Amino acid sequence: MGFYSRELVSWEQNNLSCIFVIPCYQKQRLGSKLIEFSYHLSNHEQIISGPERPLSPFGKLTYLSYWCRTLSRELLYGKLSTFDHVTLELISFKTGFRSEDILLTLDYMEALYEVGERFIYTDYYSNPCHKDQRFVFLEDAGYRMFIDKAKIRNWVVNRHISAESNLDPQYLLLD
């Protein structure tokens, strides 16, 4: 049906080098399952990882779909749902995603806002309330941003994203 490969020794700690799904099995979420499995392996190895770059156009769409589902699940229902303030490092630790992948995903979902002047890739709120349940304050060295949970919630509803994972970790035997 499909396969993926990864380097056992990767200087950039890539969790996936190549993914292939036979055309007759495409559109059945097999690619997402393989991606999720690669992140479970990385989590088992206790490393923050991501795919080998550059991504193909279909690879980028598949990864963005997976990252969007996973980030929305974590921010709305998971371990990060109760946080008012987060850092990229914390999101990365909880999801296993690289910081640049997190920012790319939040920007793709149009859920990232920055206080200050207009930036070409994001929208801005001039002065959002820090205690508003709609926002999560994202702060790291050199910048302050807000994650709009209402936009993420709309993303989930409009795309009929379920709260369940593709794989059940209790059935993975990783030793």
Give the 3-state secondary structure of 20-84: EECHHHCCCCHHHHHHHHHHHHHHHCCCCEEECCCCCHHHHHHHHHHHHHHHHHHHHCCCCCCCC
Catalytic residues: 52
pTM (predicted TM-score): 0.86
Lowest mean pLDDT segment, chosen from 53-57, 73-77, 124-128: 124-128
The answer, yes or no, to whether residue 154 has pLDDT greater than 90, is yes
| Sequential DSSP letters for 70-120 | HHHHHHHTSTTTT-SEE-HHHHHHHH-B-HHHHHHHHHHTT-EEESSS--T
| Percent of the chain topping pLDDT 90 | 51
Whole-number average pLDDT of the chain: 85
Domain residue ranges in the chain: 82-161
